[in-house]
Structure 1
Amino acid sequence: MLESFSRSTARRARRQYVGMMFRFMGHALEAISRFDKTVIDEASALPEGLVFQMTVLPAGPSLAVEHTGGGSLRYLGSHYQGPVDLSIRFKHLAHAFLVLSFQEKTVEAFANDRMVVDGDIALAVRMTRILNRLEAIILPRLVARRAVKEYPSELGLLEKVPGAIGVYRRVAFSMIRDLRKEGLSQ
């Protein structure tokens, strides 16, 4: 009995962690697309109006962002139900947890058949580069090297620190704004 309780508790904790990370990543993608030239250039090549979703199968946590044009991304939330042009779906919560806790790189998870891409593979590669850039900027270098395929050699401390501060500041403000909206709607 105790063993099944601890397994279910661990499963709930992983689900909450993955959900929180998706929510953070959605806000962070929106934030970084406002000022990072590399992300803006990558996102500019996406079709305007493209909706990208990352989710856990069958009905796990998710995030959705839309390219609004000019390289700018807009976070659509964790409960987006509209049409999706491109999605990366983890086959199991445990697989998403491995990637989002930086125990496994995204490319390794894909190679290990832990995720499925629905949509244009070239656009999925572009979105992965955007996610890698985000991780390289906001994570400490030691952790980022575990998370991304190749740490950007041109990303120096003078670019990384202000970029990370900018992302975290914008994420904090947008998450507070969302919490206020949620509080007003209840």
Structure 2
Amino acid sequence: MAYGSMKMCFQCATCSMVSTCLFRALKFLSTRDSRIRAEAQNWPRGKTLRLEIPGAKGFTITGSKDGFRKLHQDAPGDVTIRFKSPSDAFRVFTGQISVAQAYAQHRFVLRGDMGLAMPFVRCVDLAEAYLFPACLARRILKRLPAKQISTLRVYAAVLFGR
């Protein structure tokens, strides 16, 4: 196997794992962090957001009064965020660049209503504050938001799929 394809395989596997962890964190936090819960509860009923990564596992979500719910991956998204390459997603998912930087650098395509994507991005920023160590989170977030629950509880939920 050539180095380039091994690197891409590693990036795809990492993106799939981080995508799963991100969804689990969002699901858990949407029932426990008041800011993420409010975004999920105010989500327009029946509207979906789909995150796509070439060669890797993304997810499709919707918000409800009970928090974020995952839908079947093939469910159509009213809004789709599609990374242009696995390496673009890898840089965001490993904290090398922020979501805002990735957007400014055209590393993903946004299709649909940007007004629906913004609450999702706010939730991702909050989740990153829980998931990344503070020294890394400070580099990719404009400000470090206060945590409303223990990071260890979030990690446990992510690991055990709560």
TM-score by length of 2: 0.90
Quick one: which of 50, 72, 78 aligns to 2:67? 72
Aligned mates of 1:147, 1:48 — CA distance in 2:
31
Percent identity between the two aligned chains: 27
SS in 1 for 2:50: strand
Quick one: which of 5, 25, 28 aligns to 2:25? 28
The match for 2:158 is: 171
Aligned CA-pair RMSD: 1.9
Tell me whether 1:48 sits opposite 2:42 in the alignment. no
Quick one: which of 109, 113, 126 aligns to 1:120? 113
SS in 2 for 1:62: strand
Tell me whether 1:61 sits opposite 2:57 in the alignment. yes
- Partners of 1:42 and 1:71 within 8 A in 2: no
Deviation at 1:9, TM superposition (A): 1.0
SS in 2 for 1:151: coil
Gaps of 5+ in 1: 176-186
More helix by percentage: 1
Gaps of 5+ in 2: none
Number of residue-to-residue matches in the alignment: 162
- Partners of 1:33 and 1:39 within 8 A in 2: yes
TM-score by length of 1: 0.79
Q: Which has the higher contact order (CA 8 A, sep 6+)?
A: 2
User: 1:150-161 residue pairs with structure 2 within 5 A?
Assistant: 150-152=143-145, 155=146, 159=148
Distance 1:71-1:136 versus aligned 2 partners, 3 A rule: farther
